[in-house]
Amino acid sequence: MNAPPQFAMARQSAGVAPLRRPGSVRRTTSIDSSWPDGASAPWLMEAVARDIMTPADGSAPILLEEARYTMLVSPRREILTLETQPALPSPVNLVGVRAGGESRSHIAASLHDQIGAPLYQILDDFAGASLVARWIWSQWLEDWRAYSEGQDQQASHGRNGRMLDICTGFAEGSSALDADAMDRPGFRDPVEVGPLADPQDPAGWHEMSEQIGPAMRRARRIDVWREGEMIKVDAGFQDSGTSPRGGRRGVHEYRVHAEIDCKTGTVLALQCLPLILPFPECPGASVKAARMVNRPIADFRNSVLEILPGTLGCTHLNDVLRALADVPALAQRL
């Protein structure tokens, strides 16, 4: 058996978002998870997405579009209730849909005319955000192992609960598959992270509420601007949660830079920086992401899953890259 390569642990957050560039569009999204009725009960997911344009003269940003939803999710990651702003088209009903390939296919079939819009983005991201959300209980429960192993919800992870070879970090031979993996620092004692908004640029992020008690947040930022014949992208991504010791801890964080041909929409360059990850094998996925170069950015929502499946990708980096499919729609607003 050939174990996957290990790398230095990725344990350094990028910190606050960069200052907005004049002549750019910025999308920020957040999906907050909380458990008002306890760890084993359905939980609440509240999502916000906002697109703003910063004029070329650097003046006050212009609000382009906003979207929100409030969702109640079962322990098996099924949508129990859903309210959205803007409202979904009347024939569309996502209640009962389960996170993963099922939710993505339903959303794609029902809302294909809204691809590129903020609401589509946060609904599509429900699958990934709900997958990582219950990590927060590793921070708040002493008996995390018993909780994790005793819930029927585990069948919603991996391949019917089996994690082997689902991604680079869980490739055969990976330390993530060891019996004590969930007790190691990268998973159980993650990096402390600070606010995402820069005090010098309060408009750089949409307003996010303070989280109290066990709570998780998936946050995403995509900056798009033009330089000559290229569209340039700077994207940030973080999964973090509250800590009983105070503050927040991050379990996943990436920074991605891309250059795209304005005329063809083809990716000319792609750099994926692993900043915070739970296992030493995880950063290997960032190298493999180079396979997406020379491909149309507009196809990323589907092509990433085809080109970086299983041990060729990282579940969470794939989510970062899939969201870049909205770059053409954002670039049109420049």
Q: Where are the domains of the chain?
A: 24-331
Specify whether the CB–CB gap between 119 and 84 falls below 8 A: yes
Q: What is the pTM of this model?
A: 0.94
Q: Give the pLDDT score at 155.
A: 47
Cα distances (angstroms) measured from residue 10 to each of 14, 242, 274: 11, 20, 6
What does DSSP assign to residue 108? H
Q: What is the mean pLDDT of each run of 10 residues along the chain (334 residues)?
A: 79 95 98 96 98 96 98 97 95 94 93 94 97 94 74 52 80 86 77 95 95 97 97 98 96 97 97 94 94 98 96 94 98 95
Alpha-carbon span 168 to 10, nearest angstrom: 14
Q: Give the pLDDT score at 153.
A: 46
Compute the Cα dihedral for 294, 299, 305, 306 and give only its sign.
Answer: negative
Alpha-carbon span 51 to 169, nearest angstrom: 33
Alpha-carbon span 99 to 106, nearest angstrom: 10
**According to DSSP H, which parts of 236-314 are helical?**
284-288, 300-307
Q: Give the pLDDT score at 162.
A: 65
